Chains A and B, each alone.
Chain A
């Protein structure tokens, strides 16, 4: 079946450090891929998405590239800020599955000043 695997957290970084959160997926066909972010006490917010191979999603300095050959969608940011501290979820939406999103386990990011 379809699934998403994320690197385990928590990840602790100093401000202005480089961030990578790994995400790989298993799916039939060509899924759409998403990164969502959850701040404490909040619901999920879409951070970025990519809908086909080699697409790059980007938002607020975060980027992720849809790599079909490695079935990956790693999240990167060149310089993190304290305000980026949150839990990050990689997710996929598969063909013919309607609005169903399959999420990874989430990666908690803590950025220290």
Chain B
């Protein structure tokens, strides 16, 4: 079956702009989580959506937002981009997001802010 698909793979944006990243989970998966990966901070949790509702949120400013659609596809948006937002953004899906269920990751979107 198809894996988690993230689009686009690469993005270059200018400071102050906004960006939208997309994630299509594995068919049947209802939980989608987003992570930011940087060399300095490692992998940090942004938020999780389950059945179109945000279920959990990390410690990121309000410029970072997301949503999930009825088909479980998810988008995350970053407004007023800063240089420090340059990172690999990873999306993960799981069937329910329960304690011991496996999360499957996409290949990520590499965002560069200039």
Please tell me if the beta carbons of A98 and B31 are within 8 angstroms of each other in the complex: yes
Nearest A residue to B90 via CB reads: A43
Q: Main secondary structure on chain A at its contact with chain B?
A: loop
Q: Is the CB of B42 within 8 A of A103?
A: yes
Contact with B along A72-107 (1 / 0, CB 8 A): 000000000000000001000111011111111110
> B-contacting residues of A (Cβ < 8 Å)?
31-32, 36, 41-46, 49, 51, 89, 93-95, 97-106
**Of residues B43, B94, B107, which shows the largest number of chain A Cβ atoms within 10 Å of its Cβ?**
B43
B43 touches A103 (CB 8 A): yes
**What is the distance, in angstroms, from A106's C-beta to the closest C-beta of chain B?**
6
Interface residues on B, range: 20 to 34
Are A46 and B103 touching (Cβ within 8 A)?
yes
CA distance A85 to B15 in the complex (A): 35
User: Which B residues lie within 8 Å of A99 (CB)?
Assistant: 31-33, 48, 50, 55-56, 92, 94, 96-98, 101, 103
Whether B64 is near chain A, meaning CB under 8 Å from some CB there, is no
Which of A36, A42, A89, A95 contacts B107, CB < 8 Å?
A: A42
Asked if B100 is at the interface (CB within 8 A of a chain A CB), the reply is: yes
Complexed CA–CA distance, A41 and B33 (Å): 20
Contact sample, A vs B, 10 pairs, CB 8 Å cutoff: A42-B107, A46-B102, A95-B99, A98-B31, A99-B56, A99-B94, A99-B103, A103-B42, A104-B42, A106-B43
A43 touches B31 (CB 8 A): no
- Assembly CA distance A89 to B43 (angstroms): 9
| B4 interface residue per 8 A CB criterion | yes
Q: Is the CB of A100 within 8 A of B4?
A: no
Q: Top 10 A-B pairs ranked by shortest CB distance?
A: A99-B97, A43-B105, A103-B43, A51-B100, A44-B105, A32-B100, A99-B31, A98-B55, A99-B48, A43-B107
